[in-house]
Amino acid sequence: MSRWQELERRYYLQVARRLPVTLVRGEGARVWDEDGKEYLDFVGGWAVNNLGHCHPAVVDAITQQARTLIHTSNQFYTVPQVQLAQLLVENSVFDRVFFCNSGAEANEGAVKLARKYGRLRRNGAYEVITTLNSFHGRTLAMVAATGKPHYQEPFKPLPPGFVNVPFNSLEAIQQATTDRTCAVMLELIQGEGGVYEADPEYVRAVSRWCREQGLLFIVDEVQTGIGRTGTLFAYQQYGVEPDVMTLAKGLGGGVPIGAFLVKEDAAVFEPGDHGSTFGGNPLACAAGFATLTYVIENDIPGHAGRIGAYLKARLNNLRSRYEWVTEVRGRGLLLAVQFDREVSERVVLGCLEEGLLVNGVTPSAIRLMPPLIITEAEADQAVSILDSVLARVGAAAV
């Protein structure tokens, strides 16, 4: 254990299951630890580093903004905030944006908006339907929204107003809808839940149901947004127009920022209804504007779709050679490899030893969410390392 890891154990609240490595530098899709060892990063800050580490466009924007204006309150107008808001609206189906600092805050804001919508348009309705195996954040309300009982148990009693139903079941949503319901909130791909995709017809049917019942349809794109699935936003692949969308992770190029976008008809907030001291501050918005501009102008979503398909095909080749690898799922550069046994930790540690960072999303699956700028050569390198590790893990199990 290094000095930094010893100090972390002494001073930091022990809430993270960390790998035994201290990262000190990053560039592109690669990072280096304190001993100078290089790793290919297929965790990407948990789908944050869409342009890789320290992308010049983001670094230049942060540097210039830090010399100009780092923070001022939302009592005043600032240029980067308006620039980023305009860029998001002009490249989506939404009309308004609110900026915050994280995905959990974005989802909290969306739910708060839905409750006011329910108060005004549905006779005081306040319940939001979410799905089992979902993940919407770590705040107390978002733990209630998150459909994972093991996350909820330690913190009960939870805030009321959330109903968790099975994923990919329209009937479950229909049966859960009452006069108390104001919205349905879905992840189009359950990333933290193990990279499970929503069925396209299910998403379209949920959208229709919400319209028919006068409910808000909220999509949580905290993990799927900003190009990760092959389009700028994942909803664009489903043929729907949600009322509200939440973003974070990839929006800031590594700088913390969150947002929720809303259509005009659902924009029921008035001055004083919502706010954030740091939300939409000049530094974060300058990073977001630089990131989103680069993503759009260089068709990073298209690249992610092509490389993601290539990587998925290579991973399926591995699956055909290891009978205990049962599935490769996901789209774009949000992928999971499923095992028929609980070996994720061994695979993650084996990859770490050989210079590849991956995420053990469940005890029996690993998740890959690399920077969207990876090359075929880097995808090949990752698959080669994973192949070597799977061979060792498989042999040890015999």
Please identify which of the residues 41, 42, 98, 249 carries the catalytic annotation: 249
Dist CA 164 CA 172 (whole Å): 9
Cis amide prior to 56 (ω within 30 degrees): no
Catalytic residue among 98, 135, 233, 289: 135
Structure tokens at 367: 């998740």
Dist. CA 343–CA 363, nearest whole Å? 6
The yes-or-no answer on residue 220 being catalytic is yes
Catalytic residue status for 233: no
3-state SS track over the chain: CCHHHHHHHHHCCCCCCCCCCCEEEEEECEEEECCCCEEEECCHHHHCCCCCECCHHHHHHHHHHHCCCCCCCCCCCCHHHHHHHHHHHHCCCCCEEEEECCHHHHHHHHHHHHHHHHHHHCCCCCEEEEEECCCCCCCHHHHHHCECHHHHHHHCCCCCCEEEECCCCHHHHHHHCCCCEEEEEEECEECCCCCEECCHHHHHHHHHHHHHHCCEEEEECCCCCCCCCCCCCHHHHCCCCCCEEEECHHHHCCCCCEEEEECHHHCCCCCCCCCCCCCCCHHHHHHHHHHHHHHHHCCHHHHHHHHHHHHHHHHHHHHHHCCCEEEEEEECCEEEEEECCCCHHHHHHHHHHCCEECEEEECCEEEECCCCCCCHHHHHHHHHHHHHHHHHHHHHHC
Q: Which residues are catalytic?
A: 135, 220, 249
